[in-house]
Each structure stands twice: as structure tokens, then as C-alpha cells.
Structure 1
Amino acid sequence: MELKISDNLTLKQKLDHLNTLIQDWYPDYVGFAIAMLDNDNNLYSVYRSQGYGVKFPDFIEAIHKSSRLSTLRERRSPDIIDDMTCHLPSIKHIHQTLIRKSCLSSMATPIYNKNDEFVGIMFINARIPYFFRQNLNFFNTISLIASLFINDDLNVKRSFHNIIKTILLISHHKDPETQNHLKRVAEYSRLIALYLGKRRLCNGHFIDAVYHYADMHDIGKYMIPDEILFSTKIYTPEERQIMNEHPELGYQLILKTLKQWGGITDDNLKIILNIIRYHHERFDGEGFPLKLKGEDIPLEARIVTVADVTDALLSYRPYKKPWPVSDVINYLQDGSGKQFDPLCVEAITKNITKATLIQNKYPDHLTDEG
């Protein structure tokens, strides 16, 4: 088996190459899909080969509800269905669909990161029964290669994120509340994106990217003079104008920095830049800097807008106490369709209990002295 793949390719391109290689070697092979684990033990799809045989679900809720997936996680070895037609009364809808597409055998293998932590599952299908029993060593090797690709991708994201975290920490050293604020906004953004993902409004790659890059939304703020940035007074019109320049300042900073770095894909760079530049746009077109309206505002920015405001309302600030949860919900719902994307508001309000748990997990290290 010869596999020559450039490090400059995206994860999808590498997996596409791997899929083509398998097809060349095994005509009865159909395709594979990969799903990654989130913090709530749900799986979300990050890849599906063109010939997988059926549309792989974008979201699989709570793997503990599936005995097959739970067992796979615990025993750390592949799970094989030799002949799906022998399990017709009990198999899930997706397997029944696969049978109709002439996929008769299936193999699922766990994926682990470099710290030996379970992070996802690779699903592989074939046209004939007992296919994987006959070719087990080969497909075990394939799953290891796929795991290496995924871990390389995770490492690139981690390295990039460490660089950004360093920039953020240096920028925020005068602002003790910021670090946990950023964590909360990232977690709220993932809550919203997962909700939308369950409704097939976004895919696993998008959910993952929004989670990783949401905390960059205000990076431009730290190019604003300290006397404005950390003021506890109401801004003058001139100060407000300067403050409102931070999305464009952050956009230009990251655009110049990351284009030269080259360690991030164009898709991810676009999501980062959209979050930074457009998270102060309003759904009704009255925001800034470009007064975009409705779905002209990138979805990732609409998500972070709601996450950021949610955190501001739930958190202590020098000029305000945390709002009661009921008031936060009312404010968000009142702004639905005006300041906020209605679906993003629906997502966070339906998950407000989880949001408050996140708030408690990452509290601000400030006290209300009033």
C-alpha cells in the first residue's frame, strides 16, 4: 500500500485521497464517514466520503443510548456487522437505508487522540457480507491512518489556538475577567451551533471551527486606547466611534497575521475573519461596521453575537450586576429578529440551563463591592 499525501492538504483532502486509495484496492468497498465526540458525549459528522452510500447524519445524540457505540468506546477495538440483513428487525434506520443502497457489511473503529483519549469513530461500509472479517488487518491500518490525519489536524488547530491564546492573554493582562469570558462565549457558541447542527443548518466542521475560534471575536478591542477600553463611564460619541472600530481593527490584524503564517485552511480563516468582523452586525441591518442584514451576516457571526450578549447579561460587570435568567431570556426574545438571529435566540434560550452551568464552571474572579 503506497500513500503519498502532502502535509499542505486539508483534512478533507487527505481523507479523500485515502478513500480513493481504498476504492482502487477493493471494488467491494463503499466508503467511510468520521464523527467526532463533543463534551456532552454526542457525535457530530466531520467527514463523509462521496461513495459512503447514504447521507451520514450530521449529529448523533448521546452515544450512551447506543449499545454498539458505547461498547465500541469501552473495549477499544473495532465492531463489525458481518451481514446487516441478518439484523433487519433490530437495526437502526440508517442501516436499513444502507441495505437499500446495497451496503451489507459495516465496521466501526474508535479514534483516539495523542493523549489516548477517545475522540471519535470511523464508520466503514462494504457491498458484500463478511467483507471486513476477510480484510480486517487492512482496514485496521486504514483506521490508524485516518486517526493520524485527524490528530495532525487537531494538533494544527491546537498550535494555532495556543498562538492566539498567547496574543489574547498579552492583550488582556489588564482585564481580569476576560479569560473566562472568552471560555464562556466559546462554550455558548458551541451550544448554539450544536442546536443548529441537529437541524442540519450546519455541519460538524463548522461546529468545531466556531467553538475553537469564537474567543477571537474581540481581539481588535485591544488596539483601542486603555482609557476608552477600560472606562466605566458612558462613552462620548467620539469614544463610541473609536470603540466601534475594533471589529475592523481585529479583522485587519488577523488577516495580515494568518495569511503569512500559512498554518490554517482557507475555510477556517474565513470563519475566523467573519466572527471578528461581523459579530456586531444586527439582524435588522442596524449594526456595524457594514450594516449587513439577516442572512447576509455569516452564520458564525450571528452565533457569536448571541453568545457574547448572553454572557454579558449573565455576568457581573463594574457597571451592572448579573441579570436574572428570566430577564436574560426576555431580553434575547425581545431582540429576536431585530438585534439577533431568531434561530440563535431559540437555540440559547432552549439551552439556558446548560448556559448557566457553563457560567458557574467558568466564573469571573471579580466581586461586587456595591
Structure 2
Amino acid sequence: METTSRKAEALGMCQHDLNHQLAEIQQRIKVQLPSLDKISFALYDTREHLLRSYADSSSTSLSTTHYEAPLCALPYLKQCIESRSPACLSEISSLRPSPHITALLAKGYHSSVAIPTFNGQVFRGFIFLNSHQANAFNPADIEQVKPYLQMLESRIFFEYQIVQSIIEKANTLVARSPVYQRESVSHKQRVSSYTNIIALALADRYDFDDEFVEHLTLFSQFHDLGKVKISPELLCKQRSLTADETYALRKHISYGEELVDDITKELNAADHPSAQLLREVVSCHYEFLDGSGYPRHLTRGAIPISARIVCVANIFDALTTHKPYKQACSVPYALLELEKMVSDGKLDSDCVNVLREHQHQLKAIIHRYPERDPMDGCY
């Protein structure tokens, strides 16, 4: 019964997403290329210089492969970028073995086409066409279906641009509050990294697709967006908060909801799945499974899995960073505190278990994004 509810929850998140759009276009292309069995898109992360799986027409069945690789380790694809032209590969097994190549071969794929995509002069990623047959594609085939490939690019860039526009507007709001920006920069990066670890580890259990993992990772940075409307004095207070101050600080949830609504309405994207995901994160990341959280005292299934993930990531970060009124906990001690909250019925055990199983990565993230010492003065 639990597995069924997880599948239903994931299906609700994945309807009308980019995966389904790729599947629809695949069916059109198959009229001219009957050997086409899969279309996927890998997004280029300019900050990390990684190529990440992002959308996949085969993911409409909620069976996905999550992967990433540094572009410098993919000379075959680097040549495509330099020439700005597609490359047909008659047999995938001829490439140097990697987890992704192994996964493709295990699923029976043998040939592929890599098509570099550019938004103006900026490289954005690759469209891949795959077939279960060897020697399935040639340059003449790719030229023949070029209008469909352009349609694919248009759909991908449209979806990508909505997400990027939301992030740009959120970052603009944060920049208008220098105090909050300084206070939150490392916190945002760590919470995003912890969120990514949890979401990837739970992907098979909850049938998260790559698009969901990518967007949740990005949007988790803005879980506290409403704090841009909180007074600097309250944000910078060096001692424990009074009851009235705690109440005032908690209003950042409703402020955040208002800001998300303003952003998504301005972009004419209020009903877009990405907008809904951001709302879930902003609205529910302080809700606890037993109803003791805020602001709506939601319980268990009423709390979206997206918010349950960010909730655990956020609390772990709070425990492992210094505050003016407390010292940071060690990673093992913080995990014990989280496990106590699981035992008390507050946190999702699946999410906490993932952190316990990835302690080496957690320590690396803390080292990579260190918190400034609060005793150095006001944020």
C-alpha cells in the first residue's frame, strides 16, 4: 500500500512534464525513423562543468537513470560542441565504459546520435537519440527530421527558461536584502547539496525523474525566501528569540508564499509544475509529520515529499553550523538528533537514513561551503 501511494505521489508530480513532451515528439519522429526508441536531454551545468541527465522520453513509465559526468571526461561529446554538429554512433559499446554506457547497454540500446544544443552562442546540453538496433542512424536521417529536432530544442529551452527565470527573480529579491543575502549564501548552498543527496538516493523508491531532482535541488535554495521581508535587526539578533520574535520570524513563510505567487504570476507560470514545486518547498518545509510544525500543522501524507526532504536538509544544516547562541554539532551528533526526531514522529525516516548513509559527502559539503563565524559581527 505504501509503495502504491509513493507511485501515485510521484505520478502526480510528473504529469505534463518535459519527459512526456519528449515522448510525444518521439512518436512523431518514429514515422520517419522507426528505429528510434528513446529521446533524452542532458543539461550542462556551467558552474560544476558537468553534464547531467535532465529529461528522458522513457521516463514516462517512471523508470529513470540518474547520471552525471564531467564534460572533460567525454572527448567524443566535446568534439560535437566544437563542431556544433550532430555525431552518429553506430555501436555504443565502442565507447569507453562508464556507468551511463553500462546502463544503456543493459537496457538494450546499441546506437545513438548526440546533438549539441545552443541558446544563441551558449551551450546548454545534448539531445540524444537512441535505438535498440546497431547502425540505426546516419547524417541523412538527422537532416530529414531536423524540424522535429528544432521543436525539441524549443520545448526544452522553454521549460528550462521558466525555471531559470524563477531563479533569477528569486535571486534579485535576495540581492535587495543584503543582510539576508550575506546570512544565507553558504546556508543555501549546503541545503541545496543535502537536498540533492537525499532526492537522488530516494529517486528509485519514489520514482523521481531527473527533472524533479534538478528542480528540487535548485528551488531548495529559496526555502526561506520570505526572510527578505524580515527586519535586519531580527535576522541579526545575537541571542535566543523571545516568543514574539519567534512569531514574527515565522511569518517569513507567508511572506515567501506571497513572493512566489508574485514571481510566477509575473512570468505567467502560476500553474506550471515548477511553480507548484517551489510553493511546496516554501510553504511546507517547517511542517512535521506529527502536526507540530508550522504554519498549517500538516501531518504525514499532507506534507509533500519535496518539503519533507528540504525539512531534513534544513534542520541538519542548522544543527551543524554555529549560531551566536550555540556551537555547531558534529555530523554524527546531528544525525543522532535527527533520529530522535524520527522516533518522535516528526521527520521522514527515509530522508534521515540517506544522510546517515552519506556522512563522508556531508562532511565534504560542510568543508566546501563553510559558515562565517557569527561572532565576527552582525550579518
TM-score (norm: length of structure 2): 0.76
Q: 1:220: how far off?
A: 1.8
Counterparts of 2:289 and 2:311, CA distance in 1: 10
Structure richer in helix, relative to its length: 2
Q: Aligned partners of 2:178 and 2:346: how far apart in 1?
A: 27
Amino acid at match of 2:199: A
**Aligned counterpart, 1:261:** 267
Match of 2:136 in 1: 131
- Tell me, in whole angstroms, the C-alpha distance in 1 between the residues paired with 2:153 and 2:268: 23
Corresponding residue for residue 5 of structure 1? none
1:246 is aligned, of 252, 255, 263, to: 252
Identity over aligned pairs, percent = 21
Q: Which amino acid aligns with 2:177?
A: S
CA deviations on 1:117-155 (whole Å, 9 max, x unpaired) are 5745524226x6533136244467755653454344334
Secondary structure of the residue aligned to 1:238 is: helix
User: Please, which of 235, 240, 245 is the counterpart of residue 234 of structure 1?
Assistant: 240
- Name the counterpart of 1:343: 350
Instruction: Tell me the equivalent position of 1:106.
Output: 111
Deviations 1:301-324 (A, max 9, x none): 111111111221222222222222
Distance 1:179 1:63 in 2: 25
Which amino acid counterpart does residue 132 of structure 1 have in structure 2?
A: F
Aligned to 2:55: 46
CA deviation profile, 1:248-271 (whole Å, cap 9, x unmatched): 231133224422421576211111
Q: Which residue of 1 aligns with 2:288?
A: 282
CA RMSD of aligned residues (A): 3.6
Larger deviation: 228-237 or 211-220? 228-237
Shift in Å at residue 350 of structure 1? 1.9
More deviation, 9-18/275-284: 9-18
What's the CA shift string for 1:86-117, capped at 9, x where partnerless? xxxxx957546548xxxxx5314154555665
1:78 to 76, 87, 98: 87
Q: Distance in 2 between matches of 1:264 and 1:111?
A: 31
Q: How does 1:311-330 map to 2 (within 5 A)?
A: 311-330=317-336
Evaluate the alpha carbon distance shift between residue 159 and residue 347 of structure 1 in structure 2; reply closer, same or farther with a 3 A threshold: same
Higher relative contact order (CA 8 A, sep 6+): 2
Structure 2 unaligned blocks of 5 or more: 1-15, 81-85, 94-100
Shift of 1:224: 3.3
Aligned in 2, Cα 1:363/1:247: closer, same or farther, shift over 3 Å?
Answer: same
User: Deviation of residue 10 (structure 1)?
Assistant: 6.6
Assess, with a 3 A threshold, how the Cα gap between structure 1 residues 201 and 284 changes in structure 2: closer, same or farther.
farther
Residues 182 and 286 of structure 1, relative CA distance in 2, 3 Å threshold: same
Q: Within 5 A, what are the aligned runs for 1:1-370? A: 11-12=18-19, 14-36=21-43, 43-44=52-53, 46-48=55-57, 57-60=64-67, 70=74, 72-76=76-80, 78-81=87-90, 92=102, 95=105, 97-98=107-108, 106-109=111-114, 111=116, 114=119, 119-120=125-126, 122-125=128-131, 130-133=135-138, 135-138=141-144, 146-147=152-153, 149-173=155-179, 176-263=182-269, 266-337=272-343, 338-366=345-373, 368=375
TM-score (norm 1): 0.77
Distance 1:360 1:346 in 2: 21
Aligned to 2:6: none
Structure 1 unaligned blocks of 5 or more: 1-8, 85-90, 100-104
